[in-house]
Amino acid sequence: MPAMQVLYDIPAPAKLNLFLHITGRRSDGYHLLQSAFMLIDWCDQLHFELRRDGQVSREDLTWALPEEDLCLRAAKALQSASGCPLGVHIGVAKSVPAQAGMGGGSSDAASTLLALNRLWNLGWTRAKLAAVGLPLGADVPFFLLGQHAWVEGVGEQLTPIDLPVERFAVLKPEAGLDTRSVFTHPGLERNTALAIISGFAANPYGFGRNDLQPVAERLCPAVSEAIAWFTNQGLPARMTGSGSAVFAPLHAETHLHLAPGKMALRVCNSLEAHPLQEWCA
């Protein structure tokens, strides 16, 4: 009798930065920041099939990904760190756009670590997985945390927060933005004063700004066009992460205009928690 096939089919949700302040820069070049990350229901779908030959492979189910994408890198990093002799075949159905500031790749890596922790029966804690995930991307520990968070340091200091449920319109220009190009731009301001959680909590969907946005608008004029599209409808919009996606909270009575040009428009809801929050201690 053949061995039973072991499969998982799981989501990898995106995030929005409700604000993003750059408060300084370390001597090693890493930026110090403050932000609030919110999970939303715009998700990639990942499919995992156990391989008993120790090989790690990937299949692109939507558009083509780089040869060593974050799913593969996460799987190989966990296999190496754990010494697990098992392997996996990963199918990646992308939906969250790349170079959008929505954490799609980091979320894929986090969901991969959570899935393989269970598929390979490792029994690792969330903190142990985060130690493997952080070198892959600064946002990976957030997606492993499994809930909205106040974020500080270089992105590794996470404080879980509760946020009121909200609906958002997210507009993604056709052009993307390279994170490194935004953070290394000479025009980037890096001296915003430190904020406190209580100040943010008093107005979570109107607090602060995105310090990366002025630079992003210079590098990618479509970000300005997306902001203007929202402004013309009376909606206060800002960019998420290092862009190029822009978002705004929606009122119940809002009827959105057609998205301009080749921009992708999606209405999203905030999540109460990551769909895999209970998959790890």
What residue segments make up the domains of the chain, in order of their start? Answer: 1-281
Q: Cα separations (Å) of 55 from 58, 84, 85? A: 10, 11, 9
Instruction: List all residues 6 or more positions away from 161 whose beta carbon is below 8 Å from its beta carbon.
Output: 36, 147, 148, 149, 150, 197, 201
The pLDDT of residue 217:
98
Please, what CATH class does the domain formed by 1-281 belong to?
A: alpha beta
Q: How confident is the model at residue 84 (pLDDT cuts 50, 70, 90)?
A: very high
Cα of 110 vs its chain's centroid, Å: 10
18 pLDDT tier (thresholds 50, 70, 90): very high
Mean model confidence pLDDT for the chain: 95
Q: How many CB atoms lie within 10 A of CB 29?
A: 8
Structure tokens at 104: 């799609």
Indicate the pTM of the whole model: 0.95
Distance of CA 147 to the CA centre of its chain: 12
Asked, as a colleague might, if the bond just before 244 is cis with ω within 30 of 0, I would say yes
State the residue for tokens 């190496």: 80
Q: Is the dihedral of CA 179, 152, 109, 249 positive or negative?
A: negative
Q: Which is it for strands 56-60 and 87-93: parallel, antiparallel or unpaired?
A: parallel
Segment 179-205, tens digit of pLDDT: 999 999 999 999 999 999 999 999 999
**Which helix (H) or strand (E) segment is 172 a member of?**
strand 167-172
Q: State pLDDT tens for residues 134-168.
A: 999 999 999 999 999 999 998 889 999 999 999 99
The set of catalytic residues is 15, 139
For residues 243 and 177, the answer to whether their CB atoms sit within 8 Å is yes
pLDDT digits (tens, 9 = 90+) for 38-67: 999 999 999 999 999 999 999 999 999 999
